[in-house]
C-alpha cells in the first residue's frame, strides 16, 4: 500500500501501514546511540549532536563553492564517483542549512531544503550505480536523513515524502562497513518501517547480539514491541485488502495516512519523537 505524501522535484512513496512505525522508539535507542558503545549516535553523524540545534539559513551559500566544484568535475565525467559523493554531501548540507527552526527546535522543511535534498539524493543514487569501492559512512548517514527526515529531525510541519526502502539500502552500506548495535539497529528499524518484517527481525537480532549487558536487554524489549507493531499492522493491511477485493471496501481504498493530524496543523506531521 503506497502513499505519495507530497509531489515535488522527486516523487517518493511511503508504505502507509508502516509509515509511523517506531518513531517514538527510534530517537531513544538509535538517535542518541543507546545500545552502542559510540557516543552521540546518528545525530552526531549528521551534525546535530550537542545542545546547539540552531541553523543559519544564510549558511546555505557557504557550500556553493564545493557544489560548483563537484558539478564541474561531473561535466567532464558524469560517472566520477568522488564528485558524485561530494555533490550528495554538500547538497545535503545546503538543504539542512535551509531548515527553519522554531523556538522549540522543531524544524520546517522549506522548499529550498526539498530542492537541495532532492539533488543530493539524485547524486547519491548515481554514486551508488558506480559500484564505489569506498563509501563515506557520514555522508551515507546524512542521506538516510534526506530519505526519511522525521527520523532525524523533530518536525513542526509537512515531512514531505519518505522512502524507507532506499534509506534501508543506504543504511545497509553503513552497517556493512561499521557493524554495531547502533548501525544494525538503524537498519532493522528501516526494514521494519518499510514492511520487511522478516529482514528487520533478523537484523534486529544482529543488533542485539552486538550490544552488551543492559543495553542488549533494552534493545530486545524495544524491538519486541516494534516487531509486534509491524506484524499487527501487516495483518490489518492484509485484512483491509481482502475486504476491498470482496466488496467490503471500495477497490483501491488506502489505509489512513498515519502522518495525518499527528504533530502538525497540516495533517501531515509525525508522532512526537521519543517516549
Beta bridge partners of 101: 107
Region 154-170 average pLDDT: 84
103-132 confidence digits (pLDDT tens): 888 888 999 999 999 999 999 999 999 999
pLDDT band at 265 (very low <50, low <70, confident <90, very high): very low
Please state, in angstroms and as integers, the Cα–Cα distance from residue 20 to each residue in 178, 190, 220, 270, following that order: 27, 11, 20, 7
Highest mean pLDDT among 134-138, 161-165, 250-254: 134-138
pLDDT band at 69 (very low <50, low <70, confident <90, very high): very high
Q: What is the CA radius of gyration of the chain?
A: 19
pLDDT band at 60 (very low <50, low <70, confident <90, very high): low
pTM of the predicted model as reported, rounded to 2 decimal places:
0.73
Above 70 in pLDDT, residue 13?
no
What is the structure's pLDDT at 244?
73
127-156 confidence digits (pLDDT tens): 999 999 899 999 999 999 999 888 888 887
Annotate 200-220 with b (16+ C-beta within 10 A) or e (fewer).
Answer: bbebbebbbebbeeebbebbb
| Percentage helix, strand, coil for the chain under 3-state DSSP, each rounded to 5 | 60, 5, 40
Complete domains list, the chain, with CATH:
2-245 (1.25.40.10)
Higher-confidence position of 263 and 12 = 12
90-106 confidence digits (pLDDT tens): 999 999 999 998 888 88
d(Cα 270, Cα 266) in Å, to the nearest integer? 11
Above 80 in pLDDT, residue 8?
no
221-241 confidence digits (pLDDT tens): 888 988 888 888 888 878 887
Q: Which range, of 70-74, 75-79, 154-158, averages the lowest pLDDT?
A: 154-158
Above 70 in pLDDT, residue 89?
yes
What is the structure's pLDDT at 202?
97
Is the distance from CB of 167 to CB of 42 less than 8 angstroms?
Answer: no
Amino acid at each position: 500500500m503506497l502513499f505519495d505524501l507530497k509531489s515535488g522535484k522527486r516523487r517518493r512513496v511511503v508504505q502507509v501501514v508502516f509509515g509511523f512505525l517506531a518513531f517514538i522508539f527510534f530517537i531513544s535507542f538509535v538517535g542518541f546511540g543507546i545500545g552502542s558503545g559510540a557516543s552521540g549516535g546518528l545525530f552526531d553523524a549528521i551534525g546535530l549532536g550537542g545542545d546547539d540545534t540552531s541553523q543559519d539559513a544564510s549558511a546555505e551559500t557557504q557550500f556553493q563553492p564545493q557544489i560548483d566544484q563537484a558539478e564541474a568535475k561531473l561535466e567532464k565525467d558524469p560517472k566520477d564517483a568522488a564528485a558524485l559523493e561530494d555533490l550528495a554531501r554538500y547538497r545535503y548540507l545546503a538543504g539542512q542549512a535551509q531548515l527553519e527552526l522554531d523556538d522549540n527546535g522543531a524544524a520546517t522543511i522549506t522548499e529550498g531544503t526539498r530542492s537541495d535534498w532532492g539533488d543530493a539524493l539524485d547524486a547519491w543514487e548515481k554514486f551508488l550505480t558506480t559500484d564505489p569501492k569506498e563509501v563515506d559512512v557520514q555522508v551515507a548517514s546524512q542521506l538516510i536523513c534526506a530519505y526519511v527526515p522525521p527520523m532525524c529531525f523533530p518536525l513542526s510541519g509537512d515531512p514531505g515524502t519518505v522512502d524507507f526502502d532506499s534509506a534501508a539500502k543506504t543504511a545497509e552500506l553503513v552497517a556493512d562497513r561499521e557493524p554495531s548495535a547502533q548501525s544494525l539497529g538503524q537498519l532493522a528499524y528501516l526494514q521494519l518501517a518499510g514492511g520487511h518484517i522478516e529482514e528487520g527481525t533478523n537484523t534486529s537480532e544482529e543488533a542485539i547480539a552486538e550490544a552488551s549487558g543492559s543495553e542488549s536487554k533494552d534493545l530486545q524489549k524495544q524491538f519486541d514491541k516494534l516487531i509486534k507493531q509491524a506484524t499487527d499492522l501487516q495483518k490489518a493491511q492484509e485484512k483491509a485488502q481482502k475486504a476491498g477485493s470482496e466488496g467490503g471496501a471500495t477497490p483501491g481504498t488506502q489505509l489512513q495516512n498515519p502522518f495525518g493530524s499527528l504533530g502538525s496543523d497540516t495533517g501531515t506531521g509525525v508522532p512526537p519523537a521519543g517516549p
